[in-house]
Amino acid sequence: MSDNSENTGAVSAENAKEAEIFKEKANEYFKNQNYEKAIELYTKAIELNPHVASYYGNRSFAYLKTECFGYALNDASKTIELDRNYVKGYYRRAASYMSLSKFKLALKDFETVTKARPNDNDAKIKYTECNKIVKKLAFEKAISVEENKKNIADTINLDAMAIEDDYTGPKLEDGKVTLQFMKDLLKWYKDENKLHRKYAYQILLDVKSWFMAQPSLIDVPIPDDNKFTICGDIHGQFYDLLNIFELNGLPSETNPYLFNGDFVDRGSFSVECIFTLFGFKLLFPNHFFMSRGNHESAVMNHMYGFDGEVKAKYTAQMAQLFTEVYNWLPLAHCLNSRVLVMHGGLFSRDGVTLNEIREIDRNRQPPDEGIMCELLWSDPQPQMGRAPSKRGVGVQFGPDVTHNFLKVNGLDYIVRSHEVKNDGYEVSHDGKCITVFSAPNYCDTMGNRGAFITLKGKDMKPNFTTYAAVPHPNVRPMQYATSLLKFMI
């Protein structure tokens, strides 16, 4: 099957030729991992000749790389509409469905591929793996009623976990996190060691109890002359997290932090990141804050590596306990009644109030729609109004939506994360919407800088610190991800 299956219609020979030139240039940018530029050039090729399936297929792949799963799905479907024999279109669509947790639809496309290419072992493997996920989810759904009656936390017996004589790592003092424990933990992790399972479980049980007592929206007071730091996505990049503390100081009562979701997944040091953050939460509970991101969910953790990493370093039971803890993470923080911080963004309807956010029943997996979903998934757009999300989940919101929300709630601006930015941050919507992303050279491929925001209580003016990635041990990103994603990364 040709990559250039086409129905040229009324396209002139000149336009068709120019479109091919754009496609070739786009392919080069794609190979060099400049996906945004590749998308721009594939789009130009499509504008000149909208009848070539491979243009949409290639752009779909680039959209997958930039996590625009909704756009990737649309392009993949367009390739199939243009050429039902274009097998890569089914691959791309299956990948898009996978990323949107629509596993049954993904399975149907993988099945189409295996029928079209019966001797393709890669296609057979993907079909088999996807089928396993579908069956596993069906089984879990069938037993979920019974499972919901018990908490994993209630089944943990810390007394039965002995500390081996040869364990020389950090130790909790009387079961509590101390500053010395945290300093020892950072060094222990930096040297690629593992925290003892008894202490790991203790931290999870204690932090779950703390989060359970919190509302879905946390009000954070910041005194006039005090500094406050906001960090965006970390995504399992532990050595870059250490660098943030090197640049900005360790968390303390006089150096408070808010980490704004997506602590785990993709990066292969997610366990180290999350226990570091949870440890500081327990040490400074009123001066260290954590918001839930879209990757603090069971499906995302299964696909993008955290679930596999926890099982590799600890147990399947602990992976289930993490899901329980994540369900209790707060969804947003309001700083000095002036700035709202959430992982994703704003809403598909006007008039949402802080009280509505405060009252969200969050102890669950993120839903596919509604304000809890949108807090975790939405993105800003430069155009006015709203549009369907490029991710296929949440909504895209314009400057007018932001201004309206701020006016309704008496706020100055919003801070959100969720998107890679070349400089680690972006100021949009007339300065009223700020994105901060703290994982530099995301997935070891994107070449972006990381950033964090510091502000003072007096004026709440955001100041940006940017930084490059630091070296890390030779463990590649997505090491623990589901094998089905390997053709997407």
**Structural domain includes residue 80:** yes
Domain interval for residue 289: 155-487
Distance CA 33, CA 27 (A): 10
Q: What is the pLDDT of residue 337?
A: 98
Give yes or no: residues 181 and 110 share one domain. Answer: no
Q: How far is CA 19 from CA 15, 85, 108, 388, in A?
A: 6, 22, 32, 28
The angle subtended at Cα 434 by Cα 382 and Cα 399, nearest 5°, is: 30
Between 147-151, 159-163, 176-180, 333-337, the lowest mean confidence (pLDDT) is in 147-151
Give yes or no: residues 89 and 69 share one domain. Answer: yes
pLDDT band of residue 477 (cuts 50, 70, 90) is very high
One-letter amino acid for residue 189 of the chain: Y
**Structural domain includes residue 453:** yes
**Rg of the chain, C-alpha, whole Å:** 23
Say whether pLDDT at 7 is over 60: no
**Structural domain includes residue 2:** no
Q: What is the mean pLDDT of residues 423-435?
A: 98
Q: What is the pLDDT of residue 126?
A: 86
**Structural domain includes residue 4:** no
**Structural domain includes residue 150:** no
**Structural domain includes residue 182:** yes
Give yes or no: residues 58 and 176 share one domain. Answer: no
Report the catalytic residues.
Answer: 295
Give yes or no: residues 477 and 347 share one domain. Answer: yes
Q: What is the mean pLDDT of residues 344-368?
A: 97
pLDDT over 90, % of the chain: 85
Q: DSSP secondary-structure letter at 466?
A: E
**Structural domain includes residue 61:** yes
**Phi, then psi, of 282 in degrees rounded to 5:** -70, -35
Of the candidates 143, 172, 204, which is a domain's last residue? 143
pLDDT over 70, % of the chain: 95
Residues 6+ apart with CB under 8 A from 83: 5, 6, 7, 53, 89
Paired residues of 218 in beta bridges: 333
**Phi, then psi, of 302 in degrees rounded to 5:** -65, -40
Q: What is the mean pLDDT of residues 455-467?
A: 97
pLDDT band of residue 9 (cuts 50, 70, 90) is low
3-state SS class at 298: helix
Average pLDDT, the chain: 93
Distance CA 465, CA 202 (A): 34
Q: What is the pLDDT of residue 132?
A: 87
**Structural domain includes residue 304:** yes
Give yes or no: residues 248 and 102 share one domain. Answer: no
Between 141-150, 187-196, 403-412, 478-487, the lowest mean confidence (pLDDT) is in 141-150
One-letter amino acid for residue 307 of the chain: D
Q: What DSSP element (H or E) covers 85? A: none
Between 38-47, 130-139, 217-226, 298-307, the lowest mean confidence (pLDDT) is in 130-139
Q: What is the pLDDT of residue 143?
A: 65
pLDDT band of residue 33 (cuts 50, 70, 90) is confident
Q: What is the CATH number of the domain that holds 64?
A: 1.25.40.10
Of the candidates 94, 122, 143, which is a domain's last residue? 143
Helices and strands of the chain, counted as H and E runs: 17, 14
Q: What is the mean pLDDT of residues 252-270?
A: 97
For residues 337 and 1, the model is more confident at 337
Give the pLDDT confidence of 167-216 residue by residue, as tens digits. 999 999 999 999 999 999 999 999 999 999 999 999 999 999 999 999 99
Give Cα 347 to chain centroid, integer Å: 19
Q: What is the pLDDT of residue 333?
A: 98
pLDDT band of residue 390 (cuts 50, 70, 90) is very high
Give yes or no: residues 76 and 194 share one domain. Answer: no
Say whether pLDDT at 402 is over 70: yes
Give yes or no: residues 368 and 242 share one domain. Answer: yes
For residues 45 and 67, the model is more confident at 45
Distance CA 95, CA 64 (A): 8
* 8 A C-beta contact, residue 35 and residue 62: yes
Give yes or no: residues 193 and 109 share one domain. Answer: no
State how many domains the chain has: 2
3-state SS class at 482: coil
Q: What is the CATH number of the domain that holds 258?
A: 3.60.21.10
Q: What is the mean pLDDT of residues 380-393?
A: 96
Of the candidates 96, 123, 143, which is a domain's last residue? 143
pTM higher than 0.75, yes or no? yes
Give yes or no: residues 339 and 420 share one domain. Answer: yes
Give yes or no: residues 207 and 329 share one domain. Answer: yes
Give yes or no: residues 138 and 238 share one domain. Answer: no
Q: How far is CA 306 from CA 297, 320, 323, 421, in A?
A: 10, 11, 11, 23
Say whether pLDDT at 484 is over 90: no
Tokens representing 441 are: 């050279």
Say whether pLDDT at 68 is over 60: yes
Q: How many other C-beta atoms lie within 10 A of the C-beta of residue 384? A: 10
pLDDT band of residue 220 (cuts 50, 70, 90) is very high
Residue 291's nearest CA partner among 319, 252, 263, 253 is 263
Give yes or no: residues 134 and 185 share one domain. Answer: no
Distance CA 456, CA 459 (A): 6
